[in-house]
Amino acid sequence: MIPRIYIPGDSGALALGAEKVAKAIAGELAERGIEAKIVRNGSRGAYFLEPMVEVATANGRVAYGPVKPSDVKSLFDGGFLTGGHHKRWLGSPDKIPFFAKQTRLTFARCGVTDPLSLESYKKHGGLNGLTNALALTPADIVAQVTESGLRGRGGAGFPTGIKWKTVLDTAGDRKYIVCNADEGDSGTFADRMIMEGDPFVLIEGMTIAGIATGATKGFVYVRSEYPHAVAVMNKAVEVARKAGVLGASVLGSPYAFDMEIRVGAGAYVCGEETALLDSLEGKRGMVRAKPPLPAHKGLFGKPTVINNVISLASVPVIMDKGAAFYKDFGMGRSRGTIPIQIAGNVKYAGLFEAAFGMTLGEIIDDIGGGTATGRPVKAVQVGGPLGAYFPRALFDTPFDYEAFAAKDGLIGHAGIVVFDDTADMLKQARFAMEFCAIESCGKCTPCRIGSTRGVETIDRIVAGIEPEKNLALVTDLCNTMKFGSLCALGGFTPYPVMSSITHFPDDFKPAPVRVAAE
Amino acid sequence: MTMQPASTEITSRTAAIIQEMKGLEGPLLPILHGIQEEFGHVPKDALPVIAEALNISRAEVHGVVSFYHDYRSHPAGRHVLKLCQAESCQSMGSDAIAAKLKQLLGIGFHETTRDGSVTLEPVYCLGLCACSPAAMLDGEVIGRLNDEKLDEIVAEVRS
């Protein structure tokens, strides 16, 4: 058997030098005249270990990381092709604590398999969900997804099964499945990882959604900032078509389903579902008023399921192992697992899939290992640019949709950005308003004008002009934006702003006082 | 600087791209991406050609082009450097990185160096939040930016 070497082609790993490592390994193989197969897998998500190179040995996979090009010669000298010892030796990836503590359902194959090999996908349980779904009626598939308790992983947390049922029950000569892969929230990269590391699971999930609702065409709307994900998805769709997973007869069944990958053009607001639909139609990405719901009148006015990447990618495991299996994980009304993305100023940054219910403190301190700079954690922003900043005092909050809402926060797409004690929360609050002003689609006044006025008012606080009066004004403005905006961009910008004001009042005191306090 | 192609040439090359994409459902964004790839920006002279082919007004085409951050009205430099300025990168000092880079290149965001070598742009998240601060140079990703990496980037864009 020729040795197999896994070197991630994931863009996070590439950003840390995986391409140079791959070249060095290929060069060393050629020089030593060794025949080996290099597989460009996805990342398992431990970015503090990337580039993490693995070799398949008689005793299973052995990992090495983080590997630098300069390590390659000594890796070969140390016999790494048979799992030999080296200063970068990590042993079996499954036993590395960061992975061992996880519950990998949606990301079970990510970083393990060859992303573009359908054989590899099937060998690791791929297509079982679709095969099971084909034996059921559409209504039964929808019932399974509903029963699993799966809720929208894009941030809104709406029950996926109910969305599907609405589309199934709505008559239409043509229906669509739209996958929202416009993952614009800072601190999130789960969609990118799964598209680059296990694209077939998304294709399988979308195909199941099509069969369940009577839709025959799917679109994946990927943001343009993700060129690697776009490339992998396009290749995977080709492979799936050739293998008959997509096409006029899905796996030989009477069902037809095909899909296209579409690329966004740098507008954050297109992550909002109705703006995304307008963008797909070739319009400005303007938010639509609801009703009508996309499930009734969505893409080109047809009944449309629009789901986040992770929601759709979680469907295959539900259809494979059953609703009860999936539902068994989690807490309260948050069922199953959630890929938590630990990012920013944190020691062990990466993707950690776990059942709902871990506390924020466990995630940041135990899994994340505190800050990268070694300074105390001051704040964590959960749920992207529209998520609240939580202080350490709220670290006992369990990761659960309702628990976060109760503390005036949100899980969003489950990204967590850690800040150390050098963070200036007034600056973060100002940025939230500024970002909203840059990205507002302009349709509703609270978002379009409110965000600009918000920046100006915070600037007056910075300048020491009537700080108390202006702080009250920002609070009032946030209230207007929260309740008066058409979508979550204007409606949720108050979360980072108000949480900064509420939890870090010292940062909003006039400049002389702030200096004196330090 | 890049020479601007003559308007007749723009018309014919635009028409060819439209021909290729016209059958898609909702073809406007794919067409605009194709045009930007072809010319490095979306030339003004391409807009009436698109409007005519898709049976929409020029104002509508202009509205779409101007809505999205990605579409350029003018050609960029030979290299395009996108520096992430979103929260995760902020937490790892992206402000200081941006200041240093602006100083090294002698330009601000949305500007191109006078020799046309590089255009500097802010970007709000590259999905590399587990290796912040991050950047993208001509589509290639770079993580954990530091002074040393900035010097390498500057040397590369100037060569």
- SS3 for A441-491 is CCCCHHHHHHHHHHHHHHHHHHCCCCHHHHHHHHHHHHHHHHHHCCCHHHH
Residues 6+ apart with CB under 8 A from B99: none
CA dihedral B31, B35, B40, B43 (to 10 degrees): -110
Chain A residue numbers with beta carbons less than 8 Å from the beta carbon of B131 are 12, 15-16, 47, 50, 349
Amino acid identity of A51? Answer: P
Least CB–CB distance from B91: residue in A280, A281, A344: A344
Split at pLDDT 50, 70, 90, the class of B8 is confident
The pLDDT of residue A202 is: 98
The nearest alpha carbon in chain A to B83 belongs to A225
Omega cis (within 30) before A376:
no
The full DSSP string for A7-75 is ----HHHHHTTHHHHHHHHHHHHHHHT---EEE-----SBGGG-S-EEEEETTEEEEE-SPPGGGHHHH
Residue-by-residue DSSP string for A135-198: TS-HHHHHHHHHHHT-B-TTTT--BHHHHHHHHHHS--SS-EEEEEE---STT--HHHHHHHH-
Across the interface, whether the CB atoms of A225 and B88 are under 8 A apart is answered no
Q: Does A74 reach chain B within 8 Å, measured CB to CB?
A: no
* End-to-end Cα separation, chain A, in angstroms: 65
Q: B6 pLDDT band (50/70/90 cuts)?
A: confident
Q: Does A418 touch chain B (CB under 8 A)?
A: yes
Task: Give the three-state DSSP class for A263.
Answer: strand
Distance of CA A5 to the CA centre of its chain: 27
Residues in chain A with CB shorter than 8 Å from the CB of B24 are 260
Contact yes or no for A203/A193 (Cβ under 8 A): no
Neighbours of B40 (CB within 10 A): 16
DSSP state of A329: S
Question: Could you tell me the residue ranges of all domains in chain B?
Answer: 7-67, 79-158
Interface test with A, best of B25, B87, B121 (most A CBs within 10 A): B87
User: Taking a contact as any Cβ pair under 8 Å apart, which residues of chain A between 146 and 185 contact chain B?
Assistant: 183-185
Q: Does B123 touch chain A (CB under 8 A)?
A: yes
Cβ separation B128–A15 shorter than 8 A:
yes
Provide the token pair at A252.
Answer: 């030989």
Quick check: B53 contacting A, CB < 8 Å? no
Out of B64, B128, B132, the one facing A282 most closely (by C-beta) is B64
- B120-144 mean pLDDT: 97
Estimate the crossing angle of helix A190-197 against helix A227-242, to 10 degrees.
40
Residues of chain A with Cβ-Cβ distance to B86 below 8 Å are: 186, 385, 435
Residue appearing with tokens 């590399």: B128
Q: Which residues does A224 contact at the CB level (< 8 Å), separation at least 6? A: A230, A263, A264, A265, A266, B33, B70
Domains of chain A: 4-100 (3.40.30.10), 118-327 (3.40.50.11540), 330-420 (3.10.20.600), 425-517 (1.20.1440.230)
Secondary structure class of A324 (helix, strand, coil): helix
pLDDT given at position A512: 60
Q: What is the side-by-side strand order in the sheet with A377-382?
A: A350-355, A337-344, A415-420, A377-382, A389-390
Query: Which residue, among B80, B88, B152, would best test binding to A if mutated, counting the most A CBs under 10 Å from its CB?
Result: B88
CA nearest neighbour of B31 among B58, B2, B57, B53: B53
In angstroms, the CA A332 to CA A35 distance is 53
- Which chain A residues are closer than 8 Å to B63 by Cβ? 284
C-alpha distances out from residue A233 to A18, A221, A236, B47, B143, Å:
20, 11, 5, 30, 23
Output the tens digit of pLDDT for each of chain A's 518 residues: 789 999 999 999 999 999 999 999 999 999 999 999 999 999 999 999 999 999 999 999 999 999 999 999 999 999 999 999 999 999 999 999 999 999 999 999 999 999 999 999 999 999 999 999 999 999 999 999 999 999 999 999 999 999 999 999 999 999 999 999 999 999 999 999 999 999 999 999 999 999 999 999 999 999 999 999 999 999 999 999 999 999 999 999 999 999 999 999 999 999 999 999 999 999 999 999 999 999 999 999 999 999 999 999 999 999 999 999 999 999 999 999 999 999 999 999 999 999 999 999 999 999 999 999 999 999 999 999 999 999 999 999 999 999 999 999 999 999 999 999 999 999 999 999 999 999 999 999 999 999 999 999 999 999 999 999 999 999 999 999 999 999 999 999 999 999 999 999 999 987 665 555 55
CA A38 from chain centre, in angstroms, equals 27
Contact indicator for A223, A182 with CB cutoff of 8 Å: yes
| Rg of the Cα atoms in chain A | 24
CA distances in angstroms from A275 to A81, A339, A481, B66, listed in the order given: 50, 25, 18, 16
From chain B, the residues in CB contact with A280 under 8 A are: 26, 29
Closest CA to A332 of A397, A409, A393: A397
Q: How far apart are CA A172 and CA A320, in angstroms?
A: 29
The answer to whether residues A500 and A507 touch, using CB atoms and an 8 Å cutoff, is: yes
Q: Please name the fold of domain B79-158.
A: Glutaredoxin (3.40.30)
Rounded Cα–Cα distance for residues B36 and A209 (Å): 34
Q: Does A192 reach chain B within 8 Å, measured CB to CB?
A: yes
Tell me, yes or no, if B27 comes closer than 8 A to chain A by beta carbon.
Answer: yes
- Pick the residue of A47, A48, A225 with the most B CBs within 10 A to test the interface with B by mutation: A225
CA distance B32 to chain A (A): 9
Contact A227 B139 (CB under 8 A): yes
Of A266, A282, A385, the CB nearest to B26: A282
Smallest Cβ distance to B130: which of A343, A428, A441?
Answer: A343
**Does B11 touch chain A if contact means CB atoms closer than 8 Å?**
no
Contact between residue A210 and residue A178 where contact means Cβ atoms under 8 Å apart: no
Element (H, E) at A326: helix A323-327
What one-letter code names the amino acid at A432?
A
Give the phi and the psi of residue B78 in degrees, each rounded to 5.
Answer: -65, -35
User: Is the complex ipTM higher than 0.90?
Assistant: yes
Determine the Cα angle at A83 with ends A78 and A85, to 5°. Answer: 45
Give the separation between CA B132 and CA B112, rounded to whole angstroms.
Answer: 24
Count of helix runs (H) and strand runs (E) in chain A: 22, 16
pLDDT of B1: 47
Give B91's contacts (C-beta < 8 A, 6+ positions apart): A344, A345, A417, A418, A419, A420, A423, B132
Residue to test with chain B: of A110, A176, A417, most B Cβ within 10 A: A417
Query: What token pair was written down for A38?
Result: 């290099």
- Helix, strand, coil proportions of chain B in percent (round to 5)? 50, 15, 40
